[in-house]
Each structure stands twice: as C-alpha cells, then as structure tokens.
Amino acid sequence: MLSRKRKTKACGVAILAASCLFFVRASQVPAAEGGKAATLAELIGGAKKETTLRAQWGADTLDGGPGLQKIVAGMNKKYGLNLQPSFTPGPNMQGMMTKIAREVAAGQPASSDVYFGNPQSMLQAIEAKALMPMNWTALLERKLAPEGGFDPIVPGNIGIAMASTLVGAVYNSNLVKGDDVPRKLDDFLNPKWKGKIASTPYAAGLREFAMPELLGRERIIEFTKKLSKHIGGLMRCGETDRLTSGEFLMLVLACGDQEVNIAQRKGIPLGYAILDEATLSHTRYAGVPKNSRSPNAAALFIIYLHTVEGQKLMWDIDGLDFHLYPESNQKKKLDAAKARGAKFVVSSPQWLQKHKDYEATQKELEKILRGEGS
C-alpha cells in the first residue's frame, strides 16, 4: 500500500508527464521531407502525395489568401491535384527569408512551403543555403532564355525569376494631377509636397538608383538627405491605403506598379509615375525552402506561375507578370520607358553581386530616411 506522501508524489509526476505529453502531441508537426524531382511528371507525382500547400508572405503579395486560393485552384485543375491552400500573413521578403534561414538552421519545418523574394533576399538565401537547388529550366513548360545579360535563374539554381515590375512613384490621383505629377526626382522636393509625401524605410528604388549605371551614389545620397527632411513619414510599398486616405500624397519611390495596376481596375484613385531619368525592372523570385513540408507542390506552384495561364492569373490578382514572356504587360511598359530614353537596368542577385557597395549604400540611405544622422 502506498503512503499518502508517495501517492501525492506519484500523482505530481504523472501530471507532469501527462502535461509534457499533451504539449508534445498538441504541437506535433510533420517532419520536413526532402524532395527533388528531375522532371515535371515526377514533380506532379510527388505533389499528388502532398495534401497542403502552406504559404506565408506579406498579405499584399499575390493578393494574400484569396490569391493563393485562386492559384492553387488553377494548379489543381491543370495537374489533377487536390491540394489545400493555407495562407498566413507574414513579414516582408527579407524578414521571411531570415525566418526560413533560422528554421533551416534549427532543423524546424519551414513556415512557408514556397518562398517569394526579391533580388536582395535571394542573395540572403544564397548565403544561408536556405533554398533547394532545382533544375528549373528543365522543369519549365516553355522556354525562358536570358536576355540582355539578365539571367532569370538564381546562382546555384536555388530560385527562379517569375515576375517583374517597374520602379517609380505612386500617388493619390485625386490630389496630385496634371503638371503636378512628378517626372524627375527633383520634382518631389517641390515645397508644396513638404510633410505630405512618404518614402520607404528600406529606400526602395533609391538604393538601385544610387548605382553607377543609373543615377549614381553622390546624386542619390544628396537627394535622399533633402528628401528625408521633406517627407512626412515612412510607409511600406503595399500600404496604398495611406495614399488613398490622404495621409500621404505620394510614395517616393515605390517597389513597383503592381498595386496601382490592380487599384486602377477597381476605380481606386492611384496613379503611377515612371521617371524620365531612370527606372529599373524590379524582379520577383521564387524558390522552395530546404525544409518545406510540401516541396513538390511548392515547386509545381512556381512552375505553374510560369505557364501562360499562371502569368495571366498573376497579372489578374497581383498586377504582375514577367517581362521575358512575349504576352507580358510589363514588357510593353518597359519598352515604352526605354523609348523615352530612361536609364534602365533589370535588378537581379547577379547584378547586386557586381556592386560591392550596394549594401553599404542601402544602409546609409535607410539611416538617412529614418532621420538618423541626417
């Protein structure tokens, strides 16, 4: 017969063990699976065994959850799958890459089965070895060739470009009209805009414009110092509600024109100005995290977005498509900007790698925009 003391002790130990078991059971997640298909058929076969496609990125990327649902529905139809989409809003592209890199380092499953990034976050991915190398060109359903020195495949085959957008300024078209619409960088410094315009905390556009092929470091640093004293605050690229509400009249400079493309279709008063001096094609990349729980479905998702229907869907839901494809809407805009004589580059990890001072310049610009030491 156990004494009362022993009974109580045993009870305590049992409760502790049960609690641990409960927590372990409750929080159990499937372990990360590897998966590397060599052909599209293998990819489809692998994706058929996966049930869910988890996605985490900014709620404004690919129209968040509703956008993911539409793309996955298209994929399911095209490839005969039965994938369930699951979207959770997440941090920005750099933040998300950091999260994935941390998860890879810790051996935890990835928060997102697919990763969407920009050239800079793909550089991060190269360094962190966070994405799965895949033979993208072999998997694509149609030819995607390099053009004008721009290679859409990320070094190491860890990702592939899937869309491009042109850098310029977004403005509230009810409040900025006619000749007030900026054409040159210095137009933003007009005293009438003081305290009424915004920039991004990450110096979108400005960081690329500071490179020698475009407007150069000296000019942009000087401009940003003036701009920092001129702006009313900072906002992220997707926060166009802050423009329509009148909180700010313009965003100098934006990451791209995709929100405006969508807004204009809905009658939302937003306009987009591509500067006569320079522009760049800001490239969007995708890749599959090494610790993705549905790597085949994730890769197939990216392949699907390269199909004609995938590109159209992306244009419809996010105002983006890829200028290397002949049917691209962005290609037409890009050709128009080139015809106006604007200096032009396509940003890519390879392009960034060539510019050793890019990161330092960006940090300096960010600091100026935050109001530190300006």
Using CB under 8 A as the binding rule, the residues of this chain from 187 to 206 that contact another protein are 195-196, 198, 201-203
CB of 136 to another protein, least distance (A): 26
Give bridge partners of residue 361 from the DSSP assignment: none
Cα 120 from Cα 352, distance rounded (Å): 7
Residues 148-167 binding another protein (CB under 8 A) are none
- What residues contact 80, with CB distance under 8 A and at least 6 apart? 44, 48
- Of 37 and 60, the one with the shorter C-beta distance to another protein is 60
Binding range to another protein, per CB under 8 A, among 13-21, 147-155, 159-167, 304-312: 13-21
Helix residue ranges, H only, the chain: 4-26, 40-48, 64-79, 93-106, 119-128, 136-139, 206-209, 217-230, 241-244, 258-265, 295-305, 308-318, 329-339, 349-354, 358-370
Q: How many CB atoms lie within 10 A of CB 276?
A: 15
Q: Give 44 or 234: the residue with its C-beta nearer to another protein.
A: 234
Number of C-beta neighbours around residue 285 at 10 A: 26
* 107 counts as binding another protein under rule CB under 8 A: yes
* 18 lines the binding site for another protein (CB under 8 A): no
Name the CA radius of gyration of the chain, rounded: 24
Q: Using CB under 8 A, which of 40, 109, 189, 307 touches another protein?
A: 109
Which of these ranges, 141-149, 178-186, 318-326, 356-364, lies near another protein under the rule CB under 8 A?
Answer: 356-364
Which CB, 80 or 371, lies closer to another protein? 371
Residue closer to another protein, measured from CB, 146 or 195: 195
DSSP string, 66-102: HHHHHHHHHHHHHHT--PEEEEEE---HHHHHHHHHH
Give me the least distance between CB of 290 and another protein, in Å please.
13
Residue closer to another protein (CB basis): 64 or 334? 64
For the bound state, the minimum distance from the C-beta of residue 108 to another protein, rounded and expressed in Å, comes to 5
* Parallel/antiparallel/unpaired status of strands 270-273 and 197-199: unpaired
Nearer to another protein, 196 or 284 (CB): 196
Site for another protein in 207-246 (CB under 8 A): 207, 232-236, 238-242, 244-246
DSSP readout, 213-277? TTT-HHHHHHHHHHHHHH-SEE--TT-THHHHTSS-SEESS-S-SHHHHHHHHTT--EEEE--SS
> Cβ(309)–Cβ(74) under 8 Å?
yes
State which of residues 124, 173, 294, 311 lies at the interface with another protein (CB under 8 A): 124
**CB 199 → another protein: shortest distance, Å?**
10
Which residue, chain included where needed, has tokens 């869910």? 52
Based on CB atoms, which residue is closest to another protein, 58 or 159?
A: 58
Q: How far is the CB of 164 from another protein (least distance, A)?
A: 20
Which residue type sits at 307? T
Among 37, 83, 103, 302, binds another protein (CB under 8 A): 103
Name residues contacting another protein, limited to 259-278 (CB under 8 A).
263, 266-269
CB 183 within 8 A of CB 274: no
Nearer to another protein, 29 or 145 (CB): 29
Alpha carbon distance 334, 277 (integer Å):
14
Do residues 320 and 192 make contact, with C-beta atoms less than 8 angstroms apart? no
Residue 366 within binding range of another protein, rule CB under 8 A:
yes
Number of residues that bind another protein (CB under 8 A): 82
The residue range among 210-218, 306-314, 327-335, 355-363 that interacts with another protein, by the rule CB under 8 A, is 355-363
Q: Counting contacts by CB under 8 A, is residue 336 touching another protein? A: no
Distance in angstroms (rounded) separating the CA atoms of residues 54 and 31: 14
Region 38-97 residues binding another protein, contact defined as CB under 8 A: 54, 56, 58-60, 64-66, 69, 85-92, 94-95
Q: Is the Cβ of residue 278 or residue 365 nearer to another protein in the bound state?
A: 365
Q: Which structure tokens are listed for 166?
A: 């042109």
